[in-house]
Amino acid sequence: MGEFVSMGFKKNLGQAKNHIKYIAFRQRSDGKHYGLFNDRSNNVDVYKFNKSLEDKKISHSSSAKIHTLMFSMSGDEFKKSGFQDEDYKTMVRNIMEDWQLKEGKRVDWVGAIHFEDGHPHVHVAIKSTYKDRDGIERKLNLSIGREEREWFRKQFREEKDQIRGPEWNDRYRRGRNKGQSLDITKQFVKNLKFQIKMRQLEAEYEKDMEQLRAHRRSQRRGR
């Protein structure tokens, strides 16, 4: 059992738009999950959201156009927890609402569920502007450090437990002791695949972090 959260950003407008199209239209393993959702709708207009990224506040080449998040768990955990599609959406909506309340920022975000074998996950893209408590629109500079990522990971864990109930872990452990879980060898292989995928995602996260550090170093040298 576990959860994985990655964070990143896209500065190039074309790359940001392509990312939105990718998460919205990429072929799902079950052949039926397409499109975007947000806090208000299950059917967000992809092209309208992309058009909104052509914003003067974030038009400079050094400005992120979107910030990205990904929430993932193993397929085994998703199945054993009895989660449904709408549960994943509920979790992400609650996490995003809690984050906005914590930060005092109202953002425009979209999400897409990808039910890949072994690690069903949700991509989230946040437009890099926000409205503060006074309704003034500003440029969003979202920290993608480990502290912020751990906050999202903790919230993800709490949201999972909220839906399946606090007694779920005890039931899961009892089920394993009674031989009701998957065959040990199959379980090992599933968990190994999940861990390999998570390490790949960790590497991508570290690459984004290095890009950010290099950008900040270049800014300091230019002063």
pLDDT digits (tens, 9 = 90+) for 179-218: 444 443 444 444 445 555 555 655 554 555 565 556 556 6
The Cα–Cα gap between 5 and 176 comes to 27
For position 68, what pLDDT does the model report?
Answer: 96
For position 33, what pLDDT does the model report?
Answer: 59
CATH code assigned at 35: 3.30.930.30
User: Angle at CA 85, nearest 5°, toward 115 and 100?
Assistant: 100
Q: What is the DSSP letter of 68?
A: E
The Cα–Cα gap between 175 and 179 comes to 6
For position 187, what pLDDT does the model report?
Answer: 46
The Cα–Cα gap between 61 and 66 comes to 12
For position 188, what pLDDT does the model report?
Answer: 43
What does the mean pLDDT of the chain come to? 81
CB-count burial class (<10 Å; 0-12, 13-18, 19+) for 157: middle
Q: What is the mean pLDDT of residues 160-187?
A: 58
Q: What is the mean pLDDT of residues 80-97?
A: 92
Q: Is the CB of residue 126 less than 8 Å from the CB of residue 109?
A: yes
Residue 173 scores a pLDDT above 60:
no
Range of the domain at 50: 4-221
For position 197, what pLDDT does the model report?
Answer: 56
Calculate the CA 125 to chain-centre distance.
8
For position 137, what pLDDT does the model report?
Answer: 95
The Cα–Cα gap between 205 and 183 comes to 33
Better-predicted residue by pLDDT, 144 or 209: 144
Strands 106-114 and 4-10: unpaired
For position 24, what pLDDT does the model report?
Answer: 92
Of 197, 152, 160, nearest in space to 8 by CA = 152
Query: Structural domain tally of the chain?
Result: 1
Residue 66's SS3 state is strand
For position 94, what pLDDT does the model report?
Answer: 96
Residue 40's SS3 state is coil
Q: How confident is the model at residue 152 (pLDDT cuts 50, 70, 90)?
A: very high
Q: How confident is the model at residue 177 (pLDDT cuts 50, 70, 90)?
A: very low
For position 206, what pLDDT does the model report?
Answer: 55
